[in-house]
Amino acid sequence: MGDCARLDSEICNRLPSVKAEFRAQPVRAARRASARRGGQDVGRSRLFGSVATVAIAAAALLTANAAAAQAAPPPSAPPPPGETTVETLIVTGTSAARTALTTPMQATSIGSDRLERLQANSAADILTTIPMLKAEGGGGEVAANVFVAGLPSGGQYQFTPLEFNGIPVIGSIGLNSSAPDVYYRSDLGVERLEFVHGGVSNLFGGGSVGGLINYIDRTGTAETHGQAKLELGELGRIRTDFAANGPLNADAGLYYAFSGFYRYDEGPLKSGMPTDGYQVRGNIKKEFDGGYVTIFGQYIDDKVQFFADYPLTGDTHKRPTGNDGKTIYTTMTSALEGISYLTPDGVYRTKVGDGAASKGGQVGIEFKKDFGDGWGVNGRGNVGSYKTSFALFAGGDNVQNLPTTQAGFLQAYGYNPAANTAVFTYANSGQPVPAGNLLWADRVIDRIRPLNTASGELNLTKEIQAGGWDHHLTLGAFAARTEASDINYGYAFLGDFANAPQLINATVTNTATGVQTIVSRNGLLRAGLQYTNNWAEAKRYAVYGADQVSVGKWELDVGGRVETLDGRVRREGSRAFVTDTTPGLSPLLSTVQWGNGQFLDGSVSTTAWALAASALYRVSDNLSVFVNASRGYFMPQLNTVQISAAGVQTYRPEIIKQVEGGFKYASGPISGSMSAFYSTLTDRQNVQLLNNPAGGGLLELVNQVATRSYGVEGDVRLRIVEGLTFEGNVTYEHDRYTRYTPIAACTNCVGNTLVRQPDWMANAGFYYNKDGIDAALFDTYTGRTFTSDLNNIELPAFHVVRLDLGYTLTVRGGDKLRAGLSVYNLFDSQAVTEGSPRLGTLQNAGQAFFVGRTVLPRRVTVQLSYKF
């Protein structure tokens, strides 16, 4: 939807005629006016040379056609802001762009104005409005947990690669469980978002069985356009955004675009550790006769707080009241920023104040060239390198995992209150802790995660028209290399049960012997409780072919893909070291886990294949019916690979079979679609980050599952009167485990509902835009979910309502000045999005407290935006 500037000049020039021809020959017109969808990303090391080769080839094409270069024609007028219809041109997950009404798979497109209004806290605010997707944003701006209906995962975009301009942010996910949105963010430079799933969408580029999330950037045109935006919000939020695009030399077909943001935020949950950082992005595009070359670039330097689960009230799952009588919004605390402890390699100082910190960037390239007589070539690639750290609050100390009385704390840590006395004091002041105050012990895992990624895609295309049959053939190849480390340092702290708690010191005296033990020093309860040093590398190689066919009223897709993944993993062992000999120090403070210098190495390799076929029949100019089916695969994440002295576990693809069918309709004031889906997944290596029963750290435990799901999804857009529309979508899913290799207490989980997957998801809202006034009131509904595979604790359904108001003033020269007001979570819902993932099947129930995470609280922001 939205501005067509992202598409090649031929599409922009012909878009009005495409819509006209749609009534008679929609697919043929759309295909001949289109470019192949975005590619994927390119590796670093050995694949870096491949990227350079592609760049050199593109430059050669550019040079060869420079003499024939022409300025891009002006784009056609965009639809009204935020408008989404099934006549939108879709370029993601298909060999050649075509209208959504003639695409035999479900597709969602969201334009720039709507994207700007939706993103209140994170990408989850946007993605949760898309059918088939559940996105949890309670953690804040990054690491959104994104789930696809019917597929089991822990979130983190596992089945839905995050792409920008068709290039995946990470060439292979699952090397260290980092979410791709930690490295790359959307901003005002994005023209639209496309999400497609089903059919041949799993064949091209990096491939995806659950769907493709693709943000498509603006590129320059013959006219200069730009936007500057200031946003202010409660709890110390200030954000500035900018974007501009235009000609560098229109006569030579050379254009630019750039965008970025800077943001400082002490909320939305105030822990004393603010979010602070920026991102800049840009591209330069060269158009020539029959094609273009675009170079992309991104750099980020950002520190974002990730909000973890914490104790809620046990009966109602509401935010609890702390010792000071005030509501607790988070038990994360800036008091930890001075924490350090001795290790065999010197002093380790926590990185907790940095939160989820990312620094680095990537460069990419996209090119397209038509050679005539139906032949063409296109390609994409990128190379990126990032340094990241991620401070994870684990939601408990792995001893009690709940707030406790002072006597209860002593008992849990082996100091019988009947035989010991204790002194609890605040670490910052030395003042005694009141005897009735509850204590909260928690862990922090500093996760150091540098990542290098690279990928590339090259496609040869051929259009053939014969006997009324129009073929668009694609033969392509994809390659990627990604390497990442996962180095973890863990410790535990003792605090007051309050918002952003103060740290507490504890000294215990044995009443019989008089021996004193320092249990907590400077708030540090346990030093070096975890050490992990893992490294993984994934190399992917794929070839694929597809044919999009248009014949009469039929649209037919068929294709296949073969891929090989070669992986290497390396893991260091650990052991306990006594590093601090201070007299009276607790063994939990004097001893740390640290690397033992002994490594286990392993290699895995597997090959998988995919097939897909789709058919769409145009019943009339306004109505289409479609069906698609696919047999695809998901390569197991390398962090699931188990290594021992005897070797590595069996490594084989996880097979997903899907079928979907339904109808699409667009006429006058109403458009929409409805479909039913069915899928099965076998041999799933399911990763759970759980408390280590043998210690205080975390383990990535793996169990094997198979699942079956079915359901329906639908969406509708209705223009009620001029300027006022209603939009809504709904997804229903029925999913079950059909196989479950037991871990922990889940000895009979076959037949249970998938964890954290709701039965119903829906969005509905009214949107107004007329005479400079815009307004939106919309609701996101998430159905009931279960906190663990046992299905023993059910979390109720909930709503999050959003309000957006604005007034736009047209100033001299047609520039636009908008003042806006946004309210996220209008009714301040305190609904729980998840229980404690670290407890797994041991999630507590029926107690005074329940460890979980709520949706973020109500927040009001105001915006001032200027467009030129």
- What are the DSSP calls for 359-416, one per residue? EEEEEEEEEEEEEETTEEEEEEEEEEEEEEEEEEE-SS-SS--S-B-HHHHHHHTT--
Q: Total structural domains in the chain? A: 1
Q: What's the confidence (pLDDT) of residue 745?
A: 62
Q: What's the confidence (pLDDT) of residue 36?
A: 32
- Please state whether the peptide bond connecting residue 432 to the residue before it is cis, i.e. omega within 30 degrees of 0: no
What mean pLDDT is predicted for residues 837-861? 87
Q: Is the pLDDT of residue 805 over 70?
A: yes
Q: Residue 750: inside a domain, yes or no?
A: yes
pLDDT confidence tier of residue 83, bands split at 50, 70 and 90? very low
Dihedral (C-alpha) 16, 21, 27, 29: value to the nearest 10 degrees? -70
Across-strand partners of 611?
560, 631
Residue type, 779: D
Q: Residue 565: inside a domain, yes or no?
A: yes
Closest CA to 481 of 539, 524, 548: 539
pLDDT digits 0-9 by tens, 9-54: 333 433 333 333 333 333 333 333 333 333 333 333 333 333 333 3
pLDDT digits 0-9 by tens, 305-325: 999 999 999 989 999 999 999
Contact 485, 449 (CB under 8 A): yes
Contact 175, 386 (CB under 8 A): no
Q: For residue 360, give both structure tokens.
A: 């680095």
Contacts for 288 with CB less than 8 Å, ≥ 6 apart: 61, 62, 65, 66, 68, 69, 70, 253
Q: Which residue has the tokens 């229980």?
A: 835
Closest CA to 190 of 157, 227, 155: 227
Greater pLDDT, 651 or 242: 242
What mean pLDDT is predicted for residues 377-400? 95
pTM as predicted: 0.88
pLDDT confidence tier of residue 59, bands split at 50, 70 and 90? very low
Q: Residue 360: inside a domain, yes or no?
A: yes
Q: What's the confidence (pLDDT) of residue 185?
A: 94
Question: What is the three-class DSSP state of 105?
Answer: coil
Q: Are strands 162-164 and 212-217 parallel, antiparallel or unpaired?
A: parallel
Residue 577 CA: distances (Å) to CA of 321, 397, 493, 591, 752:
40, 21, 20, 5, 43
Q: Residue 584: inside a domain, yes or no?
A: no
Q: For residue 567, give both structure tokens.
A: 């992986």
Express as a percent the part of the chain with pLDDT over 90: 74
Residue 673 CA: distances (Å) to CA of 550, 784, 860:
21, 25, 34
Q: For residue 188, give both structure tokens.
A: 């005002």
Domain of 224: which CATH number? 2.40.170.20
Q: Residue 389: inside a domain, yes or no?
A: yes
Q: Is the pLDDT of residue 64 over 80?
A: no
Q: What's the confidence (pLDDT) of residue 76?
A: 33
Q: What's the confidence (pLDDT) of residue 649?
A: 77
Q: What is the Cα–Cα distance from 861 to 262, expressed in whole angstroms? A: 16
Q: What's the confidence (pLDDT) of residue 6?
A: 34
DSSP string, 570-589: EEEEEEEEE----TTB-HHH
Q: Residue 69: inside a domain, yes or no?
A: yes
pLDDT digits 0-9 by tens, 207-243: 888 899 999 999 999 999 999 999 999 999 999 999 9
Q: What's the confidence (pLDDT) of residue 492?
A: 97
Greater pLDDT, 850 or 63: 850
H-helix or E-strand containing 290?
none
Across-strand partners of 860?
823
pLDDT digits 0-9 by tens, 265-310: 999 999 999 999 999 999 999 999 999 999 999 999 999 999 999 9
Contacts for 325 with CB less than 8 Å, ≥ 6 apart: none
pLDDT confidence tier of residue 94, bands split at 50, 70 and 90? confident
Planar angle of CA 116, 187, 254, nearest 5 degrees: 115
Average pLDDT, the chain: 88
Closest CA to 690 of 646, 628, 743: 743
pLDDT digits 0-9 by tens, 477-515: 999 999 999 999 999 999 999 999 999 999 999 999 999
Ramachandran class of 320: left when φ > 0, alpha when ψ lies in -120 to 50, beta otherwise: beta
Q: Which residue has the tokens 């922009």?
A: 12
Number of Cα atoms under 13 Å in the Cβ half of residue 13? 9
Q: What's the confidence (pLDDT) of residue 743?
A: 65
Q: Is the pLDDT of residue 2 over 60?
A: no
Residue type, 600: L
Q: Residue 776: inside a domain, yes or no?
A: yes
Question: What is the three-class DSSP state of 67?
Answer: helix
Out of 13-22, 427-436, 569-578, 688-697, least confident range: 13-22
Q: What is the Cα–Cα distance from 675 to 658, expressed in whole angstroms? A: 13
Q: Residue 602: inside a domain, yes or no?
A: no
Across-strand partners of 713?
675, 731
Q: What's the confidence (pLDDT) of residue 74?
A: 33
Q: Highest mean pLDDT range out of 614-618, 651-655, 685-689?
A: 614-618
Q: What is the Cα–Cα distance from 38 to 335, expressed in whole angstroms? A: 46
Count Cβ atoms below 10 Å from residue 847 Cβ, excluding itself. Answer: 12
Q: Is the pLDDT of residue 744 over 70?
A: no
Q: Is the pLDDT of residue 853 over 60?
A: yes
User: Going edge to edge, which strands form the sheet with 106-111?
Assistant: 106-111, 190-197, 212-217, 162-164, 167-168
Q: What's the confidence (pLDDT) of residue 87?
A: 61
Residue 824 CA: distances (Å) to CA of 129, 433, 773, 827, 829:
14, 37, 19, 9, 10
Q: What is the Cα–Cα distance from 128 to 121, expressed in whole angstroms? A: 12
pLDDT confidence tier of residue 73, bands split at 50, 70 and 90? very low
Closest CA to 867 of 112, 258, 228, 78: 228
Q: What's the confidence (pLDDT) of residue 206?
A: 92
pLDDT confidence tier of residue 95, bands split at 50, 70 and 90? confident
Burial of 667 (0-12, 13-18, 19+ CB in 10 A): exposed
Q: Which residue has the tokens 């899928």?
A: 679
Domain range enclosing 31 = 9-474+485-576+607-867
Express as a percent the part of the chain with pLDDT over 70: 89
Direct distance between the N- and C-terminal alpha carbons of the chain, in angstroms, rounded to an integer:
21
Q: What is the Cα–Cα distance from 181 to 178, expressed in whole angstroms? A: 9
Contact 200, 546 (CB under 8 A): yes
Q: What is the Cα–Cα distance from 765 to 134, expressed in whole angstroms? A: 18
pLDDT digits 0-9 by tens, 155-186: 788 889 899 999 999 999 889 888 999 999 99
What's the DSSP call for residue 273?
A: -
